[in-house]
Amino acid sequence: MLKTFKSYFQGHEDIRSYLSPGRVNLIGEHIDYHGGYVFPAAIDLGTCGMVGVRKDRLFRFVSLNFEDEPVITRSLDDLAFSEEDGWANYAKGILWMLLNEGFQIDHGFDLLVHGDLPTASGLSSSASLELLVAFIANDLYDLKMSRSELALLGQKVENEYMGMHCGIMDQLAIALGEKDRALLMNTATLEVKPTKAVFPGYRWVIMNTNYQRKTTDSKYNERRDESHRALLKIKEVKDIEHLCELTMEEFEAVSHVLDNPIELKRARHAVSEQARTLEARRALEAGDVEAFGRLLNESHLSLKEDYEVTGKHLDALVKSAITHGAVGARVTGAGFGGCAIALVEKSLLDRFIPAVEADYIKKIQLEPSFYLVKFTDGVRRVESCE
């Protein structure tokens, strides 16, 4: 990337490199905005950035993932959201938010990025880019922000600048990731408990539907609204702040107030997924691969029937994965397409991937992609992007 950087941006002597991972959520889906526990891990796919500091007030952005697009140039005074800026809005949004919150930024930089995260896949390519730029800004401008504060900044950009009402999980996992560990994360308090997430003899396989979903943002916001209406009704009879404060027993005791069947299902998913996530941590600590696999399957079923965020592409991949030997599989990410995760014995991989691929092509007429991922450290400065 260094040669490419210099072909776009001349005159820089101090060129710095940074790496921001993607993330996969093992279990605990669609509850990060319900005050629930989630269980993500940073993965060894992500976004790399090379930066050179400028003396003027300009920012220039180039992505090798969109090489047909020209260099996007904006000044410190011109960082508002613009549809035509596409991917660069995530970078601009971080800088705009920092300025809006009173941080001192008096000069720009040149940024070249390249990512190997598939877009719209549920592996957080947007959060990876946000945290990359946030970490770069924190370093270049000596802002002295903590990793948790950088994560909150990324979430704020999604919510207030991009108009996506996401929770904190993606950004926090990318900020705080640890090698070979998943992060049991309390999204109500931001407390994080790293847990070793390696089952000897097994691999984590990410399966990409390669379905270009089109309505994720609107459906995501719709699910949040439905769940919030359920919360408001429950709060009339139970003093809680978030749905995930309820145990299943407490939920059953108050579920009579949910006269709308859609709201009942949305709330039931949130509460039951919380219970599964806490049980999953116990299974990981005990090395109980069968229990963890069962919880993955139960999570997918709840996301399919109660939260209704899977769809035929994800359901086909998950069903085929289990048929061909995965101990468990489920949708990961927002759903409606994107990716699923499977836990597979290493000795089966040579047969597993071709078999699942053939099933999916036959049923869906699309070719899936597979990634054998490892869990890695969070966003950081690196020697090189090569």
Residue 170 is among the residues annotated as catalytic for this protein: yes
Q: Are residues 292 and 50 in contact, defined by beta-carbon separation less than 8 angstroms? A: no
CA dist., res. 248 & res. 278, Å (int):
13
Going edge to edge, which strands form the sheet with 339-345?
328-332, 339-345, 202-208, 369-373
Whether 329 and 318 have beta carbons less than 8 Å apart is answered as yes
CA distances from 18 to 2, 89, 230, 381 (A): 12, 19, 42, 4
Residues 273/299, Cβ–Cβ less than 8 Å: yes
Q: How far is CA 276 from the centre of its chain?
A: 19
Contact in structure between 175 and 169 (CB atoms under 8 Å): no
Residue 305, C-beta contacts closer than 8 angstroms, at least 6 positions apart: 265
- Per DSSP bridges, beta strands 109-115 and 58-63 are parallel
CA–CA separation, 95 and 289 (whole Å) = 43
Q: Pick the closest to residue 74 from 58, 97, 98 (CA basis).
A: 58
Task: Specify whether the CB–CB gap between 382 and 19 falls below 8 A.
Answer: yes
> Cβ–Cβ contacts within 10 Å for residue 221, how many?
14
Catalytic one of 32, 85, 110, 170: 170
Orientation angle between helical segments 349-364 and 312-323, nearest 10 degrees: 150
Q: Which residues are catalytic?
A: 170
